[in-house]
A and B are shown apart, each in its own frame.
Chain A
Amino acid sequence: MNVLRIALRHLDREWRAGELKVLAMALIIAVASVTSVNFFTSRIHQALAGQANDLLGGDLVYLSDRGIPEQLVKRVAELQLQNARTVEFPTTVVAGERHQLVALKATDSSYPLRGHNRTAPKMFATDAQVAGGPVPGTVWGGSRLLTILGVDTGDEITVGNTRLRVAAVLTSEPDQSEGVLMNIAPRLLMHTDDLPATGLVQPNIQVVYRLLLAGDADAIAQIRQEWTPRLAHGESLNDVQDARPEIRSALKRGEHFLALAALVSVLLAGAAVAMATRRFINRHLDNCAIMRCLGAEQRVITQLYLIKMVALGLLASVVGIALGYLAQWGLMLFLAPLAGIELPAPSLWPVALGLITGMATLLGFAAPPILQLKHVPTLRVFRRDLGGLQISTLSAYGAGILAFTVLVLFQAQDLKLAAAIIGGLLIVLLLLALVAGALLLLLRPLQKRGGAAWRFGLVNISRRSGHSLIQMIGFGVGFMALLLLAVVRTDLLSAWENRLPEDAPNRFLINIQAKQLDGVRQFLRSEGVDPPLLYPMVRARLTEINGKTISLDDFKTDRAKRLIQREFSLSWADKVQSGNAVTSGSWWRPEDHGKPIISVEQSLARELGLGLGDSLTYDMSGKRFSAKITSLRKINWESFKANFFVVTPPGVLDIYPVNYITGFYLPQEQHNILNRLVQQFPNITVLDVATILNQVREIIEQVILAVEYVFIFTVLAGLMVMYAAIHATLDERIREAAVLRTLGGRRGQLLSSIVLEYAGLGLLSGLVGSITAGAIGMVIAKQIFDLTYVPGPALWLSGMLIGAIGVGVAGTLGTRFVLNQSPLKTLRGI
């Protein structure tokens, strides 16, 4: 353990001498930024998942048409999970002369487990969040229902065999979104204790029983695992992943944004460490040559430096993790009140990730050049010009890039995103190498012009082409990261937000009969609303695939099982609906109208294992309908338009019972139009999706907020790269400046040449960084967010400006002291 002792002593002495500070600081900031991002995102992620759970009313929902099995209730009690029950069925309620079909939901005293109901004390009064649901003896109804019934709070209505008092106007319920399109009637909420008295739950009516569960994530996962295989026809288990596609989609995009911000910190970590290592190596060439003279074998040199690196990596990682943890608490303090969300405790994963990041980054970017130290020629003790290590950029950065790739995969947990980032990195390196080459050619004729300072500054860049390249990689990566987050991020976020337009449909009309089409259009026109497109809809259940009767056991995933259990809404169209795109096969031509062919949404096809040419058979109220798949479509669910999984050409489905659906935007203040519409067409059901739209928008806004805070850390990491890049060749610059001073170089001359060199480097790095940031932005926009993004000259100009000023100022400040102290002191200090 002699080597260990020597190594630790050397580490201690090198630390005291300040040699390791840039390297350690780079590492600490890198680990701190990665861990703070991950501590923070783990909390945000859990909070977002929790908030999405609000849309379900619980973390997991068991759903059945037969009641809740006693064994499940027992197991839930054993696992000490919170639970609440709801019973839902359609029924008619009466108030005086008026009656209305309602979607009745009876809830127990524990409901809801996640999220809150919102009610108003009177019609048109301001609503507020309330705890729990209606107490026994009371009901809550939506304002539309109360208008139809002509009642207000305090009045009584008849529900089955009993009379219940309207206690509040229901404005929003947490699990409203779940199966929102299935709700064919306005909502009425009551307590389960009152159910027996109504006498409404009869064997012949379609009742949906729900058991909402919430609590410990492991227990929830266990229930899910235990009960999924036991689910029979008519039963299902849903969590937020199974909730509406638009919720899933919003969550997924949010995670992508956060992962992107975290990834940039990892990238910066590598660049900063690589820069700092370079200086460290150059400073240690002499030491290694001396130790070789004193009898150290190559193996010993390698062990010595590896032990130092591992010890440094561990120490810096631990400090970084601690700082990251503190930093995310600081973040919390001002984020939590802004966001109005309660963040759960972070998981331990970021600690492990911090350690992995620290070690992988240090060893990946520092180990290859450090392993070269053993090859230092011993003769260097006589001739210092010998043994400047020839480390090829590929070998120096190859392992680093490999380590980074692994970290990216860890962080992104998404192959596509990881590939985009890695691809971007390779493009950066390639672009930088190309620009550096072009720069040398460009600078040559300029070297002969201007004064000595001008010449010396510019010559320095091209003369030190190897070093300039390394520095430009550092600066370029730093600028790319900063610009990607500062400029591209803003553009991407606004583009993403715009995906959910202000006038996205917030009201849907369902159950419109064919003979009412003209009437509805005329009504809307008379109320000043542009009549929207009306889509035909036929309810059908999938029974056979390629002539084979399907059963639950044929499908593995829960989503697939649930999809085949429910009724599909089939529609027809002659043209591809807006927001839909055919991804394989081809859309029908006019001569195909009337033929039994269908177009299927691609995620449904994937879930059910369907492809072009497969034949599907549906049951429509006892009638069979078979058709062949001729195209697959991708649907933009975030448009909130009425969309259909399965579409046929015109002239196929119109022989079956059909009704129509439409969606349109109606401002809140025109809400009463719908009451008049329902009074005129009592069978039409109005669905209000304004609430769920607001919930989705809220989630998006919180994610954006989180990304903006994560961004601060990435900027810090970016600045660290710049600092390390300047320090990487600082010794050489200081020595040169000192020699020039000795030879009589004036302060002004030296200062101008330093400023020129750094500003020139910064300008070019900024240009390359901005070009690359734009290119990566385009790829990410297209591949990940499905957006079109075109970077403009403003991005390039800002890149060059920030580069020239930033690097010019920072580089000059870093080298400036050499102008103020005696050259001998400078030379001795190196």
Chain B
Amino acid sequence: MHKHLLSMDQLSAEDITTILDTAGSLRQVTSRPIKKLPTLRGRTVCNLFYEASTRTRISFELAAKRLSADVINFSADSKSSVAKGEGFKDTAWTLEAMGVDAIVVRHGSSGAPHQLSKWVQASVINAGDGSHEHPTQALLDLYSIREHFKDFENLKVAIVGDIISSRVARSNVKGLVTMGARVTLVGPPTLVPPEAAAWGVEVTTDLDAVLPEVDICYLLRVQKERQSEQLFPTDREYAALWGLDAKRLAKMHPESVVMHPGPMNRGVEISAEVSESPRSLILDQVANGLAVRMSLLYLMLGGREVEGSVADAEVPA
């Protein structure tokens, strides 16, 4: 497995399959009465979060603990050394000096994990960087999709919303395209640049034309903080043209599903009714996050001691 996970660009279809297969095995462990494996005993994982996050940080923390790693949580809040003016590089060196084995980093600045990986010996896992990527979100989405549809061939996926500033969109496009799915990006013209066609996807502004054909409608969060930029007139107009409500859901074929990375703006990109419908995979996405993150830590850190392929390692039965 790779030393760092910075971008979905790094992962081949084989890599992704290995990660998802391992997650599948680990998922079973998490349903046992004793949910812990000794694999990463003596290893230290640091969650370095420069941006507020609840679900991703908790998910990583629990994943590391289930594998018996020691976990440090470092949040750049008002009480940390960052508030006292410590720079990113100094923080990195401090963690390095403490002998951390892996750094899970969330940062508002695109590329921060790339920069970090050049400064430290530890493995760096990108837990979301600016508008760039969020690879573990894409992997857990791929896991959820595979669990539901069994494989990716000829699967048609619409990703709807603020593509320009979405790290979830970038990682998911790469992962889905790598796995052979067909992706269409949909949204207001100000948020979905035509240049994105270079990613091997279709680009359109017309959601209603796309819905009847897709197996998955993946909705992105409308970022309220971007509203001041006049990217579209109102939330109401967004909901009218690109929001998924029951009426639109009815245009999709009966086996199709709805996904969302959370947190949701109900009534804008997704209606309450749709989010709670049986066609929604949203809660599976959250549940699968833990197994996928365990899988990554297991493969990236465990693999250093246990040489050879995953099959040779102590894969839980």
Q: Do A and B bind each other?
A: no
- Interface residues in chain A, defined as those with a beta carbon under 8 Å from any beta carbon in chain B: none
